[in-house]
């Protein structure tokens, strides 16, 4: 196996809170001590509930937010250290991002062709003909007619707009695309089309994805490996089959249990009570302790170590 293209080591992100200064200053511990890697042509699914920090992780990866501590290496370059700016610039062409809401991700006053060509225009070095040819090629790739070039985003449905956003992301032939809830805003029938498109593009161009989503079923269908986040930390990470078939963290188990099933009989489930802890003043021990059905005394005091439970399968829990 070649070196991973993404290596995230002990990364934390703390946001200062607005309106609090000096001694009363509060901060939001959005991401705490997160580590993972992504190999070439691999999809890492990142699941978690709202506020789990999964979206912040994705944004740190493309440089929207700098990490507060820890190291993020992309394609072997450190984008979190001293040379962050230069290194980020060097890898920028190879990175892209697909947003949740295709409506907000497209400038309503920019024609579709210009939107798709924006990364080309920013990078420069394409003449008119090359630019036009590339736009048409990209529209073909995502299954939109070439007549879309001069149209505006509001003329398209949600699913089509997400195709436009994907075409823009592909413009410079990136190696890594962060998909942040990329199909969550779409209806089921559109969602399946876009998921398949993403899979086809991966096979065709050898892309890697960080696929961030709250929908566990969608994540299972697209991912090679899956990481589960809770209250800013990764609680479990495993190859997809291992994670879904033999989850070892009590949170992962509860999360999988909570998803209503269409097929098969509803099994009596043990329901998780309460809600995630506040991240302004996160608990010292295990962050899941307040809701965990198996909680013990040490869970509330001591942060759980990361334990290996199988090949590529790790979980952070005292009870494993």
Q: Which of residues 38-97 bind other proteins (CB under 8 A)?
A: 49-50, 62-64, 89, 92, 95-97
Stretch that binds other proteins, among 126-134, 189-197, 204-212, 292-300 (CB under 8 A): 189-197
The verdict on 202 binding other proteins (CB under 8 A) reads no
**Cβ neighbours of 293 (radius 10 Å):** 11
Q: How far is the CB of 96 from other proteins (least distance, A)?
A: 7
CB 213 within 8 A of CB 184: yes
The verdict on 189 binding other proteins (CB under 8 A) reads yes
| Cα 105 to the center of its chain, rounded Å | 16
CB 288 within 8 A of CB 272: no
Restricted to residues 3-42, the positions that interact with other proteins (CB under 8 A) are none
What span, in angstroms and rounded, lies between the C-alpha atoms of 109 and 107?
5
The one-character DSSP state at 22 is: G
Q: How far is the CB of 295 from other proteins (least distance, A)?
A: 16
> Which CB, 8 or 182, lies closer to other proteins?
182
Alpha helix ranges (H) inside 93-156:
112-123, 128-141
> Which CB, 95 or 201, lies closer to other proteins?
95
Burial group, residue 308, by CB count within 10 angstroms (0-12, 13-18, 19+):
exposed
Restricted to residues 215-274, the positions that interact with other proteins (CB under 8 A) are 216-218, 220-221, 240-241, 244, 254-264, 266, 269, 271-273
Q: Which residue from 75, 47, 58, 48 is spatially nearest to 11, judged by alpha carbons?
A: 58
Stretch that binds other proteins, among 10-18, 32-40, 118-126, 294-302 (CB under 8 A): 118-126
Candidate residues 11, 36, 138, 156; the one interacting with other proteins per rule CB under 8 A: 156
The verdict on 275 binding other proteins (CB under 8 A) reads yes
What span, in angstroms and rounded, lies between the C-alpha atoms of 249 and 254?
9
Residue corresponding to tokens 């090949």: 311
Q: How far is the CB of 243 from other proteins (least distance, A)?
A: 11
> Which CB, 24 or 147, lies closer to other proteins?
147
> Which CB, 78 or 215, lies closer to other proteins?
215
Candidate residues 18, 23, 127, 188; the one interacting with other proteins per rule CB under 8 A: 188
Candidate residues 160, 233, 252, 314; the one interacting with other proteins per rule CB under 8 A: 160
What span, in angstroms and rounded, lies between the C-alpha atoms of 215 and 260?
11
Burial group, residue 121, by CB count within 10 angstroms (0-12, 13-18, 19+):
exposed
The verdict on 110 binding other proteins (CB under 8 A) reads yes
Q: How far is the CB of 317 from other proteins (least distance, A)?
A: 17
What span, in angstroms and rounded, lies between the C-alpha atoms of 237 and 31?
16
């Amino acid at each position: 196996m070649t070196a991973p293209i993404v290596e995230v080591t002990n990364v934390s992100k703390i946001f200062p809170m607005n309106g609090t200064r000096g001694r009363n200053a509060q901060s939001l511990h959005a991401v705490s001590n997160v580590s993972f890697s992504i190999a070439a042509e691999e999809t890492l699914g990142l699941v978690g509930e709202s506020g789990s920090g999964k979206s912040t992780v994705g944004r740190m990866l493309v440089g929207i937010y700098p990490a507060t501590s820890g190291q993020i290496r992309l394609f072997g370059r450190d984008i979190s250290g001293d040379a962050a700016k230069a290194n980020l610039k060097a890898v920028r062409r190879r990175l892209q991002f697909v947003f949740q809401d295709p409506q907000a991700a497209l400038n309503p006053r920019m024609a579709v062709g210009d939107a798709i060509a924006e990364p080309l225009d920013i990078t420069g070095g394409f003449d008119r003909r090359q630019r036009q040819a590339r736009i048409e090629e990209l529209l073909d790739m995502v299954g939109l007619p070439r007549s879309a070039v001069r149209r505006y985003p509001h003329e398209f449905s949600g699913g089509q707009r997400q195709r436009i956003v994907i075409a823009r992301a592909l413009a410079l032939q990136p190696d890594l695309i962060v998909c942040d809830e990329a199909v969550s805003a779409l209806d089921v029938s559109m969602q399946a089309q876009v998921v398949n498109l993403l899979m086809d593009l991966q096979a065709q161009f050898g892309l890697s994805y960080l696929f961030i989503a709250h929908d566990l079923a969608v994540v299972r269908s697209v991912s090679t490996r899956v990481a589960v986040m809770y209250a800013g930390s990764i609680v479990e990470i495993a190859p997809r089959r291992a994670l879904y078939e033999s989850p070892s963290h009590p949170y992962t188990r509860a999360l999988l249990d909570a998803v209503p099933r269409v097929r098969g009989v509803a099994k009596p489930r043990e329901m998780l009570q309460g809600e995630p802890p506040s991240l302004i003043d996160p608990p010292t021990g295990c962050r899941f302790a307040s809701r965990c059905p198996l909680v013990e005394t040490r869970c509330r005091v001591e942060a759980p170590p990361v334990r290996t439970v199988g090949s590529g399968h790790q979980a952070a829990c005292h009870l494993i």
